[in-house]
């Protein structure tokens, strides 16, 4: 359970490190951008895991979980 909390907190803090959305919070990336990465392949490593998670959260209408963490804890 502790790992899930840390993952969500790290996800709430994560920023896009490159491209046209550089420095934007991952949770704020446009859906079309995440869909493009889903089709092309997410980056390797932690960033890819985080982007895939954001994609799944948005797909299921759950991005408010991360947005609430940003509001309440950051």
What's residue 46's pLDDT? 96
Does the pLDDT at position 1 exceed 90? no
Phi and psi at residue 50, to the nearest 5°: -65, -45
pTM of the model: 0.92
Q: Do the beta carbons of residue 47 and residue 23 sit within 8 Å?
A: no
**Res. 74 pLDDT band, cuts 50 70 90:** confident
Task: Indicate the SS3 state at residue 21.
Answer: coil
Residue 19 CB-density burial (10 A; 0-12 exposed, 13-18 middle, 19+ buried): exposed
Q: Pick the more confident residue, 5 or 38.
A: 38
**Res. 68 pLDDT band, cuts 50 70 90:** very high
- Count of structural domains within the chain: 1
Give the helix/strand (H/E) hosting 34: helix 31-40
Domain span at 31: 2-73
Q: Pick the more confident residue, 74 or 55.
A: 55
């Amino acid at each position: 359970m502790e790992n899930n909390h840390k993952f969500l907190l790290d996800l709430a803090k994560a920023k896009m490190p490159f491209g046209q959305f550089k420095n934007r919070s991952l949770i704020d990336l446009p859906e079309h951008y995440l869909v493009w990465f889903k089709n092309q392949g997410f980056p390797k490593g932690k960033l890819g895991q985080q982007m895939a998670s954001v994609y799944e959260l948005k797909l299921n209408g759950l991005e408010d979980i991360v947005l609430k963490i940003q509001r309440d804890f950051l």
